[in-house]
Copies of this chain bind each other. A is one copy, B any other.
Amino acid sequence: MNEITVTAEQLKRLCHEIFYHLGLSEQDSTTVTDVMVMADLMGIDSHGIRRLSMIDQHIQRRYIDVKAHPNILFETPVSALVDGSRSAGQVVSVFAMQQAIDKATKTGVGLVTVRNSNHYGIAGYYSRMASDQGLIGVSMTNSLAAVVPTLGSEPMLGTNPIAFSIPSENGGFHLDMATSVVSVGKIELHQQAQQPIPWGWGLNKDGENETDPLKVLKAIFDGQSGLHPLGGYGEVHGGHKGYGLSMVVEILSAICSSGRTSNHIEEQGVSGVSHFFMAIDPKIFGDPKVIQDNLDRYLNEIRNSSKAKLHDRIYIHGEKEMEAYSCRTAEGILISEKTMKEINELCQRMNINIETYFD
């Protein structure tokens, strides 16, 4: 298969068909598809259609129970503890964030901690669910251990992303960041390009700083070592801060939900990812319109402030994603040769005629 450019609609129709064939309900297929294709549209390729085969694997291994549904184990007017029941992470997370939004709409704030879920895609999808409703949204998840604590050499933490969204008339502010110095996907890109990685991204199996991407990937894959937290090795550039932020994610998602921490996510043939969601209605601090105006004024001051040597633009978080979204909505989504091969194999297995979708 060659690489190919398709429209978001074409990609969505095919993905929906694949997920439905894999056993998900109509509605759950729509949810998983929407989260995945949104990643492609926003230029976060690592979490888009490339992950289709990973979701398939998780279903084959029964990490994902395609017939299960998340449910609330315990709740208060401002909070909920959700059992993901091992359904697809996107299905669990849309359900859980909707709980947070509903509670925030009624009481001003909603906090939801989740256990027994699966990989949930892009963290920012859920924080944006809140900001689309005029609320502040927070989304966090733990993930298969790939990050070492400061001065440790064993992966005890996931790349544990944090997303934070607040709306405004002029696009708002949308942070979506791993708490590791870099994602596993970035290491893979260096490996594919046969380029060394910068010193301070990760360790080899012997717990030594390593610039050969293959040795770092192998150490992660074998559970022997991994990436550094944001701030890098040791404390000189603040690695202990990234380690601390990653811990906050573990605490709010896995500890508060009595779920599995990142170092135990895949054990005894069962997987269990933990998430945390929060929605805040800005009304609880006063006039939401004033808050949005304050935000836009400050964001403009930052955009217009002096640039570093040889640079002519300061980005606000979320702008790059919105620019990719506009571009790809108009021009389509490029699917790589490798991913097309994976899609094709899936379609053959399920007797789906790919050509009726990508014609």
Name A residues whose Cβ lies closer than 8 Å to a Cβ of B: 73-74, 76-79, 81, 107-109, 111, 113, 136, 148-154, 156, 164, 166, 173, 175, 177-179, 181-182, 198, 200-201, 203, 206-208, 230-233, 236-238, 240-245, 247-248, 250-251, 254-258, 261, 263, 280, 282, 284-286, 290-291, 294-295, 298, 301-302, 305-309, 311, 313-315, 317
Contacts and interface: CB of A to CB of B under 8 A. Distances in A.
B111 A111 contact: no
The residue among A73, A153, A242, A285 with the most chain B CB atoms within 10 A of its own CB is A285
Nearest to A247: B173
A181 B234 CA distance: 13
A233 B200 CA distance: 14
Nearest to A175: B244
Given A255-B295, A301-B263, A78 B151 contact: no
B153 A309 contact: yes
Contacts of A294: 254-255, 258
List the 6 closest A-B pairs by CB distance, nearest first. Answer: A79-B284, A175-B244, A154-B306, A154-B305, A177-B241, A151-B311
A198 B263 contact: no
Given A79-B284, A107-B107, A181-B237, 7 more contacts: A76-B284, A109-B111, A156-B301, A156-B302, A238-B242, A255-B295, A258-B294
Given A109-B78, A111-B109, A111-B280, A208 B309 contact: yes
22 contacts: A74-B286, A76-B108, A77-B108, A78-B107, A79-B108, A109-B109, A149-B302, A150-B314, A150-B315, A151-B308, A153-B309, A164-B244, A175-B248, A177-B238, A177-B244, A181-B231, A207-B308, A230-B241, A231-B238, A232-B237, A240-B315, A255-B294
